[in-house]
Amino acid sequence: MYVLPAIDIREGAAVRLIKGDFSKKTVVNEDPLAQAHTFKEAGIKRLHIVDLDGALDGNTTNAPLIEKIKKETGLMIEVGGGIRSMAQIEQYVTIGVDRIIIGSAALKNPELVKEAVAHYKEKIAVGIDAKNGKVAVSGWLEVSKTDYLTMAKEMAAIGVQTLIYTDISKDGTLTGPSLAHYEALKQAVPEVAIIASGGVSDKQDLEALAKLDVYGAIVGKAYYEGRVTLAEILEVEASC
């Protein structure tokens, strides 16, 4: 299992939210580039970046900053937040992003996912964010009637190879990941790589996810609050 530390970018800074609430923002590093260098120097190889500004306005607001992070660190980078068109996907491909995450647009515009997979299959992931099992979109401000497993199956049928699943009720709460949801996803779409996001509070949570044999896990608040160290993250990766 791979572990990806997260950098969520809002108004030029690395921040953390609780349950996706933009009013509950904590700045964890004024300089996202410096934070990325910290990860690289520790031996981290992969990075999960969310453009929170893009999630709100639908633009690739922080693309120049993300390009700089990629060029200076050489880390494997996946990016999500506000990606709603092929032009945006192509922009991220051009600047060297390794995996592009389509979120809200995957539910609202599955044709975009089909086109993206047709052109950049290995580089495309779909983010499924759910509240009480129902898919949430538009920066988690709207909750649909679509069940997360139904959406996962629809994305797999299109040819999506990687899904990033977040239980919003767990995001930023340090209460442990929704293990049952990841088990259900693995059973529903066994051919798809599942990346877990939300709720990780310590090394033991990462080990529990590793036992489920998910493809990857994202760590945010637990790292920034010192509950899991970069050394522990590397230990979990090495043991998988």
**How would DSSP label each residue in 140-159?**
TTEEEEEEHHHHHHHHHHHT
More confident residue, 55 or 177: 177
Q: What is the pLDDT of residue 19?
A: 64
8 belongs to the catalytic site: yes
Q: In the chain, how many domains are there?
A: 1
What's the whole-model pTM score? 0.94
In this structure, what CATH number is given to the domain that contains residue 216? 3.20.20.70
Tell me if 73 sits within 8 A of 43, measured CB to CB. no
Q: What is the pLDDT of residue 161?
A: 98
- Residue 102 φ/ψ, nearest 5 degrees: -95, 125
Distance of alpha carbon 195 from alpha carbon 5, whole angstroms? 12
Q: What is the dihedral of CA 169, 141, 148, 55, to 10 degrees?
A: -100
Which DSSP helix (H) or strand (E) runs through 48?
A: strand 46-51
Range of the domain at 155: 2-239
Residue 20 above 70 pLDDT? Answer: no
129 belongs to the catalytic site: yes
29-60 pLDDT, tens digit each: 999 999 999 999 999 999 999 999 998 888 99
Q: What is the pLDDT of residue 144?
A: 85
> Catalytic residue among 51, 129, 167, 171, which?
129
187-233 pLDDT, tens digit each: 999 999 999 998 999 999 999 999 999 999 999 999 999 999 999 99
73-122 pLDDT, tens digit each: 999 999 999 899 999 999 999 999 999 999 989 998 999 999 999 999 99
> Catalytic residue among 8, 51, 53, 205, which?
8
Tell me if 3 sits within 8 A of 217, measured CB to CB. yes
Secondary structure (DSSP) of 60-125? -TTHHHHHHHHHHH--EEEEESS--SHHHHHHHHHTT-SEEEE-HHHHH-HHHHHHHHHHHGGGEE
Distance of alpha carbon 41 from alpha carbon 21, whole angstroms? 31
